[in-house]
Structure 1
């Protein structure tokens, strides 16, 4: 009888302890893996390790080189990713196509740390599908030793003196958008004649282009294979730590500003765990460690105000541009059916030879 009573008490104790577990711990009894799809070199490795150890979760981590690559894989619905990191315009596009799950803000209380300027955006009103992760600019990374002078204009990317020594991103919207800006147009234009003018202009410049780089322009620059590269600000700043000859410039004509976001694909199986990871990332100390590693701008206002961001980064105009230059930066937007115009232009750029007049 005592043994039966002991077993009954033991069973009740275990049952009550499970019922009393926090939601995340209870969830961990059933979910042990989180599948993440992110850009390369875009998170401090120790952050992933800390989450795994703290919550006893195994993270499966894959990387992609462009928004279009990520979009194609998620749209094919042949993946099991629980968390992705799309850019602003891509959030709008994927939400419209039903490729994202709505978030439960109650599970992400650390949203309170995000700067209101990065919330309730045009591409995701009310942050129904996304949470800001990092932000930055696209500009020109260059080797001061080989250029012999500071670069401050898009014009440098088309100078014949750098022929065969220039890398552009292998990205439809960003590369065409930069050329549209240089030509004086809106990078979100839906006018076929403007898009085609950007297409033709870039085709005529193809003999100056060493590569359309798949998110490796910073490596080509660092290794001396190119002298100039159209790249993400943080990617250039990361290799500048290794090479004192490298520089980054936001062209004076203006450039593209972007916000990358955390979002959960429609087919994700572990939404609650993904939301817990999002909330973990929004802890000010964690957000600061990520920005200090990537050298991109942090949308986490608490982290900035608490002095958790590296002071030299906060004072770097290439990371946090001054007001007059910030006003010239443009966000890309989802252009609906006009996306086909950009895709057709990009196909022509990639497959065409330079004009004989070049």
Structure 2
């Protein structure tokens, strides 16, 4: 017991020394609250060179932390304790956080570069007037396929995935909204359907797809697609773009029935200590040259209209990643459906995952 107590005290002393050391280091470098910007965002979702450039130009120091889901980010913000100045919620989470009064209003006067954002991506239903968020990246959910096994035009929509020849040949993103959404859109229903009968109908159809599913995966789906573990993968456009860069046999398409169009944003959480710094970083990221570099690094589509003129034409002319208006009109944003419907979606999704193959 004494050994345990001594070990515990030793560990506590080390932690205390680290905290004190960090405090003095920040003080010696002048890193007070006015100079530090705590940025909570998705992993590998900004070009590190741009962070260095911003810090050199402004004197701010960016502390970058990452999350792997909107829900994890929300929980951290709700719990408090860590004062983030800038966060990267997706569209439905912005809507959720506005309702919970968890976001600060944005001062557009501090964002002169907001003028570079295409009007098509402003004033969305989840944040009318962009009072609480600004667009960061956007993209789609679609089908990544290996052209050595799947001919171009062989798959044109979600309904083609039920072909018996694709048995155990499909990898799919592990998510309730995504999986149920495929079933819903295969019937022509909305991605934001709340009618329980239609939800059950979509779930029943998705259960019949399970024999064709090799695996339900998260971020590793890109790696397995590159390694050609399966010829078909349901994933997001940015992941698809990165995979295509690593394997020239891969191609990406958006189903003809429509799909999800998502928006990742930048927002300031309630309680932020450096609101001025947060605005400065947001405005920096909207500079056309910066946005272009960031988009080419990340692989997702930029909402910055001025940046498009600075990017490789081969990238922005690819309809798979920058779809035309006719296809965009068939795409839907996920809406916040409330806790009750979220539970219903998750329960139905669990039934789908447990379906014998």
The alpha-carbon deviation at position 165 of structure 1 amounts to 3.4
Gap change, CA 1:72 and 1:101, over 3 Å in 2: same
Q: Does 1:138 align with 2:105?
A: no
**Alpha-carbon deviations, 1:183-203, whole Å to 9, x = none?**
221111111111222233333
The alpha-carbon deviation at position 288 of structure 1 amounts to 0.9
Who is 1:286 aligned against? 290
The alpha-carbon deviation at position 206 of structure 1 amounts to 3.1
Q: Which one is further off, 271-280 or 149-158?
A: 149-158
Contact conserved, 1:202 with 1:349, CA < 8 A, in 2? no
Inter-partner Cα distance in structure 1 for 2:176 and 2:272: 27
Q: Does 1:241 align with 2:245?
A: yes
Q: Which one is further off, 107-116 or 127-136?
A: 107-116
Out of 38, 42, 67, the position equivalent to 1:39 is: 42
Who is 1:201 aligned against? 205
Inter-partner Cα distance in structure 1 for 2:276 and 2:210: 47
Contact conserved, 2:145 with 2:232, CA < 8 A, in 1? yes
Q: How many residues align?
A: 327
Who is 1:331 aligned against? 333
Who is 1:229 aligned against? 233
Q: Does 1:126 align with 2:129?
A: yes
Inter-partner Cα distance in structure 2 for 1:66 and 1:190: 23
TM-score (norm 2): 0.83
Inter-partner Cα distance in structure 2 for 1:169 and 1:71: 21
Gap change, CA 1:41 and 1:248, over 3 Å in 2: farther
Who is 2:14 aligned against? none
Alignment of 1:277-316 (within 5 A): 277-304=281-308, 307-316=309-318
Q: Does 1:343 align with 2:324?
A: no
Gap change, CA 1:312 and 1:266, over 3 Å in 2: same
Out of 171, 176, 180, the position equivalent to 2:175 is: 171
Inter-partner Cα distance in structure 2 for 1:227 and 1:36: 37
Q: Does 1:254 align with 2:258?
A: yes
The alpha-carbon deviation at position 328 of structure 1 amounts to 1.4
Inter-partner Cα distance in structure 2 for 1:353 and 1:107: 47
Gap change, CA 1:74 and 1:172, over 3 Å in 2: farther
Inter-partner Cα distance in structure 2 for 1:79 and 1:112: 32
The alpha-carbon deviation at position 99 of structure 1 amounts to 1.7
Contact conserved, 1:28 with 1:56, CA < 8 A, in 2? no
Q: Does 1:61 align with 2:64?
A: yes
Gap change, CA 1:207 and 1:67, over 3 Å in 2: farther
**Alpha-carbon deviations, 1:60-113, whole Å to 9, x = none?**
223333333333333333543322222222211111111211112222121111
| Gap regions ≥5 residues in structure 2 | 1-29
Inter-partner Cα distance in structure 1 for 2:32 and 2:70: 34
**Alpha-carbon deviations, 1:154-208, whole Å to 9, x = none?**
1343334333332222333233223211122111111111122223333343343
| Gap regions ≥5 residues in structure 1 | 1-26
SS in 1 for 2:141: strand
Q: Which one is further off, 135-144 or 325-334?
A: 325-334
Q: Does 1:264 align with 2:268?
A: yes
Inter-partner Cα distance in structure 2 for 1:216 and 1:101: 34
**Alpha-carbon deviations, 1:242-266, whole Å to 9, x = none?**
1011110101111111221111122
Contact conserved, 2:180 with 2:349, CA < 8 A, in 1? no
Q: Does 1:90 align with 2:93?
A: yes
SS in 2 for 1:205: helix
Inter-partner Cα distance in structure 1 for 2:294 and 2:178: 24
Alignment of 1:317-328 (within 5 A): 317-328=319-330
Inter-partner Cα distance in structure 1 for 2:188 and 2:292: 36
